[in-house]
Chains A and B, each alone.
Chain A
Amino acid sequence: MVFLRRAEPPQSSSALAAASATQSSSGFLPGALVDRPRLSARDISVYYADVQAITNVSMDVAQHEILALIGPSGCGKTTLLRTFNRMNDSVRGCRVTGNVIFDGEPIYRKGVDPVALRARMGIVFQKPNPFPKSIYDNVAYGPRLHGLVDRQAELDEVVEASLQRTGLWNEVKDRLHKPALSLSGGQQQRLCIARTIAIAPEIILMDEPCSALDPIATARIESLMRELARNHSIIIVTHNMQQAARVSDRTAYFHEGHLIEIGTTDQIFTTPEQSLTEDYITGRYG
């Protein structure tokens, strides 16, 4: 398999250490930090013009973990997800303060190329959004765009490996040059995931990836997520609490832009510490 660039996170990072030092005086939530994080948010606040959508969120994402972000609509979980790969840059009036540190580097520093960043941090959206191209071209798009392969044979290999890993290969290998839009919803979503992993991102962001899928297609994606977590960290925003409970290693609960509680999924779903978390996951919210 040709997977490119796999930067191991540094043993210690001065930027991270500095951020941690300033934050530790104000205190982190228990369970927010991990050893050797892949990604760290430090004191992140996000504003849409005058409206504050996220308030002082600090947390880590570990290597090879699936982290679920849950909370009621408008709690800021999708905003935070989009902050991680600077997708909010294109939103007019959006302002981000604080630090996001990815493999030791602050991503909001001047000179960081958001496009290059997004190649290392792929995103899968709620609605499958394949390009109106062939199945093959969808998966080949990223590696071509980022110039990750030199030869056609190499590209074929990346496309096949990506489709294999999403369990789609056997279903599409005889019609690789048919339009992607001819696939079923579940297949399209797996194609989008194949497109994402074709550029070997270190982190995969998922924004409600199964909300448009039936239970079988959902189960396929969830099983795939577990498989992908061997090589990637996954951050998933989901409204489906059973899904968070099923697939994630840790769960973070957000409420009105604040990170209320973060911990192992087992702990959050059996003995949450905060009453806000308890009310939400037991359906007492609102």
Chain B
Amino acid sequence: MMQFDKHTSAQYNAELEAARKNLMQMGGLVEQQVEDAVNALTEMDTELARKVMSTDDNVNEMEIDIDEECTRILARRHPAASDLRFIIAVTKAVNDLERMGDEAAKIARHTLELADAGASATHVIDINMIGDQVRLMVQQALDAFARLDADSALRVLQQDKIVDEEYGAAIRALISDMSQDPASINRALGVMWSLRSLERIGDHARNVAESVIYLVKGKDVRHKKVEQVEAQLKG
């Protein structure tokens, strides 16, 4: 079991713990942002959409703060082994979380545009299922980070594959709608962009999960199929 609180230097323990705590805090904020973005879209709640967009500033600030913290630790502590992998994983996860925040803000922007175009909640109901799954992925990826659990991280990778498939099916359905009802093209495009953002959030959650696997197992599983990762983790 990896332990980040057993260094001879208590100050070093505190620095690593602060980085971990701040990452989790940022994760919580982004998780809420994604949830709010999906709810704002499916319920056409413009007020909630504006809140999602304004939260993005906080997320960006946290990204900079945590990166600074990690740079300081690298410069002053020269971390090695699991400590080094931890710092690398944190800086990568922070980057992914920030991008998730950007995508959530994009969904919020599309919500406002769709609302302006007179779309109602029924037009965007398809997004609910993917939204729920992606939200769960973000939550699980952060959970896996908090508990240093490579098995949970692997489940995020497995789920990403399902989301990708559902995303493909949803896009095909939207294209078919558009061809049958050209008047719906504008609205359908808004939904399509939002679906794309959700799919990307799923990809970033997958990246976070891959960082967790690197942190815990020391194995780089990027750009590999889920089956290959499963085999690599067993081996």
Contacts and interface: CB of A to CB of B under 8 A. Distances in A.
Interface of A: 241-242, 245, 269-272, 277-279, 281-286
A271 B8 contact: no
B80 interface: yes
Interface string B106-144: 000000000000000000000000000000000000000
Interface string B80-107: 1111110000000000000000000000
Given A278-B82, A279-B6, 8 more contacts: A241-B80, A269-B84, A270-B80, A271-B218, A282-B7, A282-B83, A284-B6, A284-B7
Nearest to A273: B218
A281 B81 contact: yes
15 contacts: A241-B78, A269-B80, A269-B81, A270-B80, A270-B85, A270-B218, A278-B81, A281-B81, A282-B7, A282-B79, A282-B80, A282-B83, A283-B12, A284-B3, A286-B8
A172 to B, nearest CB: 34
A239 B8 CA distance: 16
B8 A284 contact: yes
B84 A270 contact: yes
B220 to A, nearest CB: 10
Interface string B56-89: 0000000000000000000000111111110000
Interface of B: 3, 6-9, 12, 78-85, 218
Contact of A271 (B3, B6, B81): B81
Nearest to A269: B80
Please list the 7 inter-chain residue pairs (A to B) with the smallest Cβ-Cβ separation, ordered nearest first.
A271-B218, A281-B80, A284-B6, A282-B83, A283-B7, A269-B80, A278-B81
Contact of B81 (A282, A285, A286): A282
B8 A242 contact: no
Contacts of B80: 241, 245, 269-270, 281-282
Which of A272, A282, A284 has the most chain B CB atoms inside 10 A of its CB? A282
A286 B6 CA distance: 10
Nearest to B218: A271
Contacts of B6: 279, 284
A283 B218 contact: no
B219 to A, nearest CB: 8
B77 to A, nearest CB: 8
Contacts of A285: 8
Contacts of A278: 81-82
Nearest to A242: B78
B81 A270 contact: yes
A206 B62 CA distance: 46
Nearest to B219: A271
A79 B85 CA distance: 33
Nearest to A241: B80
Nearest to A268: B81
B217 to A, nearest CB: 8
A277 B80 CA distance: 11
A242 B84 CA distance: 13
B9 A283 contact: yes
Contacts of B85: 270-271
Contacts of A283: 7-9, 12
Which of B6, B79, B82: most chain A Cβ within 10 A?
B82
Contacts of A282: 7, 79-83
A241 B83 CA distance: 14
A174 to B, nearest CB: 40
A269 B78 CA distance: 11
B160 to A, nearest CB: 25
A247 to B, nearest CB: 14
A286 B80 CA distance: 17
Nearest to B6: A284
A147 to B, nearest CB: 47
Contacts of B84: 269-270
Contacts of B78: 241-242
Contacts of B8: 283-286
Nearest to A284: B6
